Amino acid sequence: MRAVGLILTLCVTGLSLAACGEKPQTAGTRKADVDPSQGAAPGADPAYTAEGWKAGDATSWETQLKARTQSGQNEYSRIGAR
Amino acid sequence: MARMKFICDAERCIECNGCVTACKAEHDVPWGVNRRRVVTLNDGVAGEKSISVACMHCSDAPCMAVCPVDCFYRTEEGVVLHDKDTCIGCGYCSYACPFGAPQFPSNGTFGLRGKMDKCTFCAGGPEANASVAENEKYGRNRLAEGKLPACAEMCSTKALLGGDGDVVADIFRNRVLMRGKGSEVWGWGTAYGKPATGGAPAAPGSAQPEGKKS
């Protein structure tokens, strides 16, 4: 009988002290980002994706961005100057 | 893959704020938050210069260094992004950033400061690329759509260049070579080399001695 009482007392004490525990102080887990060369996630509207490259192919994506930079932002390449 | 970079050509920027408008429209940025701004130096004085400023996606970003919850991360392309689910809106990054890039929506009661918002180089956030969740929190993910940042692509005078750092630097250098002006700015020698090493432009018709250039 005393043993049961002792066990019960220990359980109650343990449960009571459990509320005094602190939450983890470490920063939250940072999410990893998906590489943009993988393209839009399934379910995204494909109408917004530019043509001329293949999603999932990093080399194709890099080539696409470089070509887009040259054609869209370098007027010297567009007018045929050096 | 080189690092993604912005550069603004002060000789071309006409302070039209097209980049600001493009950014706000593309990402549906709320009122009071400006991921990009046009800053004019010596406003009203002859020879005033304007530059478009946003997050410069620093290689050694001070915002990342001071964030107490470590919500920032850098992608393989060198784009500095953050996780709004982790951000606590403390504002430390705002004090650390030399460009004023971090923005805080204050549309709540009692001047509540919400979670930080900043330029994402149109690369979204940690959610799935071009997903609804990513769009709502960070705006469009144009990089995953094979596009470049809207601000740079919308710039009417092409003052604001954005993209692969190597390509952008090459475009800017060629531009300065062609017009014969711009190499006098501070840092040109560091970026493109001293005149003696062939890095500075030999501008057509320019009689400026090489020693005068930085």
Distance CA B78, CA B172 (A): 20
CA-CA distance, A78 to A70, in Å (whole number)?
8
Distance CA B33, CA B113 (A): 12
Query: In this model, does residue B129 exceed pLDDT 90?
Result: yes
A13 part of a folded domain: no
Tens of pLDDT, residue by residue over B15-27, are 999 999 999 999 9
How far is A79 from B7, CA to CA, in rounded Å?
Answer: 22
Instruction: Give the global pTM.
Output: 0.81
As given in the structure block, the two tokens for residue B199 are 């890095």
Q: What is the pLDDT of residues B13-62, one digit of tens each?
A: 999 999 999 999 999 998 889 999 999 999 999 989 999 999 999 999 99
Q: State the pLDDT at residue B207.
A: 43
Q: Does residue B202 fall inside a structural domain?
A: no
Write out chain A residues lying below 8 Å of B126, CB-based.
Answer: 30-33
Yes or no, beta carbons of B126 and A32 under 8 Å apart: yes
Does the residue A50 lie in any domain?
A: no
Place of tokens 């919500």: B71
Q: Of B146, B190, B168, nearest to B5 (Cα)?
A: B168
Say if residue B195's pLDDT is above 90.
no
| B19 and A CB contact within 8 Å | no
- Does B52 reside within a domain? yes
Mean per-residue pLDDT for B163-173?
Answer: 93
How far is C-alpha A60 from the geometric centre of its chain's CA atoms?
22
In a domain, B161, yes or no: no
Q: Which of B4, B82, B115, B129 is the best mutation test for A, with the most CBs of A within 10 A? A: B129
**Nearest Cα to B117, choosing from B15, B29, B211, B6?**
B29
Find the angle CA(B156)-CA(B158)-CA(B163) to the nearest 5 degrees: 125
- The verdict on B126 touching A (C-beta cutoff 8 Å) is yes
* Total structural domains within chain B: 1
Chain B CA closest to residue A54: B146
Does some domain include residue A74? yes
Q: Do A31 and B85 touch (CB under 8 A)?
A: yes
Q: Is residue B174 part of a domain?
A: no
Is B145 part of a structural domain of the chain? Answer: yes
User: What CATH number corresponds to the domain at position B141?
Assistant: 3.30.70.20
Residues of chain A with pLDDT under 50: none
Q: Which of B147, B172, B174 to mutate to test the interface with A (most CBs of A within 10 A)?
A: B147
SS (H, E, C) B108-138: CHHHCCCCCECCCCCECCCCCCCCHHHHHHH
* CA–CA dist B26, B149 (Å, integer): 10
A71: nearest CA in chain B?
B153
Interface residue B149 vs chain A (CB under 8 A): no
Give the model confidence (pLDDT) of B176-194 as tens digits. Answer: 988 888 788 777 888 887 7
Which structural domain, as residue segments, surrounds residue A71? 57-82
What's the pLDDT score for residue A19? 67
Q: Is B173 inside any structural domain? A: no
With the C-alpha atoms ordered A73, B123, B57, B190, is the resulting torsion angle positive or negative? Answer: negative
Contacts with B197 (C-beta within 8 Å, 6 or more apart), sequence order: none
Q: Is residue A64 a part of any domain in this protein?
A: yes
% of chain B surpassing 70 pLDDT: 87
In a domain, B187, yes or no: no
User: Which residue range forms the structural domain that includes residue B114?
Assistant: 4-154
What is the DSSP code (8-state) at residue B103? B
Rounded to a whole number of angstroms, the distance from the CA of B176 to the nearest CA of chain A is 11
Give domain status of residue B25, yes or no: yes
State the pLDDT at residue B210. 44
A-contacting residues in B 54-113 (Cβ below 8 Å):
68-71, 73, 75-77, 81, 83, 85-86
Closest to A36 (Cβ–Cβ): which among B69, B127, B144?
B144
Between A8 and B145, whose confidence is greater? B145
Domain annotation covers residue A73: yes
Burial group, residue A20, by CB count within 10 angstroms (0-12, 13-18, 19+): exposed
Q: What is the pLDDT of residue B56?
A: 94
The ipTM of this complex is 0.83
B164–A48: do the CB atoms touch at under 8 Å? no
Closest CA to B68 of A26, A45, A42: A26
Is A1 within a domain?
no
Is residue A79 situated within a structural domain? yes
Top pLDDT among A17 and B11 is at B11
pLDDT exceeds cutoff 60 at B148: yes
In the numeric block, which tokens belong to residue B154?
A: 């919308």
Best of A30, A71, A82 to substitute, by most chain B Cβ atoms within 10 angstroms, is A30
Q: How many domains does chain A have?
A: 1
